């Protein structure tokens, strides 16, 4: 059974402001095709896959069943998502992947032994903060526990002699489309952050699992939490999107079991954010996702 996604429909979906997990994603219009071409969408989703929240700048790499890779650009760049397309000239499995995509850099400052995230100043032309009605109940501002250091600092409050670092978040989003019968997918390159699929991502069925090994520069990444979200549109506000997270084992292997048919976003970040603010943040972080379809 094939699941079709209408990309035009997604253009009307709202931005979400209350969630906390942001991930890039690629969403093909179809995962199993008989056509000569396929289009797909890319965006950032904020915990509500597949509702696009904001766009990010990227080009794409498409690897065909013969192992040849070509770069393509978006056919349309909108505020919340891109749309692109490519030809399916041969039978087999195609991999789509973002290329040279990064999020906004994050600045940290070392203050009193803790690395605090630096918040940029509020733009002069920004809309004024909304004030509560005059008759609204006044509440004291919520204070952090006395033993908990602050997590943020305003840019104009950073001491002139404070040590600062900047981190870069690399976005990697990929998906797979098959025309005809599935074919072997590209091997990992043992460079950077990668998922080495032990299960073909276009041969997933209910009651079965997707298995993969998570690698960083070719070495296994153990004990890494991986989040799983089931796709639903904004017309399904009460749909249960988030699924139980899973973790990689000592060999970096992860298994995601699917109990229902649908489209799933599997996403993770490396290295995971440390709750210990005395440790210097990594200079480079990765946010990865793969989008798959599970059929009955």
DSSP assignment of 211-223 equals EEEEEETTEE--S
pLDDT tier, 76 (very low <50, low <70, confident <90, very high otherwise): very high
* Cβ contact 2:28 at 8 Å: no
**Does the pLDDT value for residue 89 go beyond 80?**
yes
Q: Which domains does the chain have, with CATH numbers?
A: 7-104+167-294 (2.60.40.1930)
The dihedrals phi and psi of 52, each to the nearest 5 degrees, come to -70, 135
Retrieve residue 254's tokens.
């992860």
Mean pLDDT value of segment 70-99 = 97
Q: Is 258 exposed, middle or buried (0-12, 13-18, 19+ CB in 10 A)?
A: buried
Pairwise CA distance, residues 251 & 265, whole Å: 22
Average pLDDT, whole number, for the chain?
A: 86
What is 31-89 written as a DSSP string? SEE-SSEEEEEEEEEESSTT-EEE----EEEEE-TTS-EEEE--SEE-SS-EEEEEE--
92-99/82-87 β-pairing: unpaired
Question: What φ, ψ does residue 8 adopt, rounded to 5°?
Answer: -60, -35
Residue pLDDT, tens place only, 212-268: 999 999 999 999 999 999 987 766 666 777 789 999 999 999 999 999 999 999 999
- pLDDT, one tens digit per residue, over 145-183 is 556 678 899 999 999 999 999 999 999 999 999 999 999
Q: Where are the alpha helices (DSSP H) in the chain?
A: 7-10
Say whether pTM exceeds 0.85. Answer: no
Phi then psi for 212, rounded to 5 degrees?
A: -150, 165
């Amino acid at each position: 059974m094939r699941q079709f996604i209408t990309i035009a429909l997604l253009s009307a979906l709202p931005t979400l402001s209350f969630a906390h997990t942001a991930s890039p994603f690629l969403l093909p219009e179809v995962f199993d095709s008989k056509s000569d071409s396929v289009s797909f969408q890319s965006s950032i989703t904020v915990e509500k896959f597949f509702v696009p929240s904001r766009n990010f700048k990227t080009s794409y790499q498409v690897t065909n069943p013969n192992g040849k890779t070509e770069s393509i650009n978006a056919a349309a760049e909108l505020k919340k998502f891109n749309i692109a397309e490519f030809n399916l000239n041969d039978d087999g499995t195609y991999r789509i992947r973002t290329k040279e995509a990064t999020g906004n850099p994050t600045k940290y400052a070392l203050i009193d032994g803790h690395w605090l995230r630096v918040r940029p100043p509020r733009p002069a032309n920004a809309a004024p903060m909304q004030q509560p009605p005059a008759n609204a109940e006044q509440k004291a501002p919520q204070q952090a526990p006395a033993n908990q250091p602050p997590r943020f600092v305003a840019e104009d409050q950073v001491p002139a002699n404070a040590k600062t670092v900047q981190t870069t978040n690399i976005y990697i989003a990929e998906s797979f489309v098959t025309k005809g019968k599935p074919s072997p997918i590209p091997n990992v390159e043992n460079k950077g952050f990668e998922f080495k699929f032990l299960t073909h991502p276009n041969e997933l069925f209910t009651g079965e699992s997707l298995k993969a090994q998570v690698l960083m520069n070719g070495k296994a990444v153990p004990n890494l939490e991986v989040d799983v979200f089931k796709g639903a549109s904004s017309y399904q506000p009460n749909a249960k999107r988030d699924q139980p997270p899973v973790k990689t084992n000592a060999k970096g292997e992860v298994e995601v079991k699917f109990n229902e048919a649908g489209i799933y976003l599997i996403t993770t970040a490396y290295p995971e954010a440390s709750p210990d603010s005395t440790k210097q943040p990594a200079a480079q972080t990765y946010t990865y996702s793969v989008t798959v379809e599970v059929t009955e």
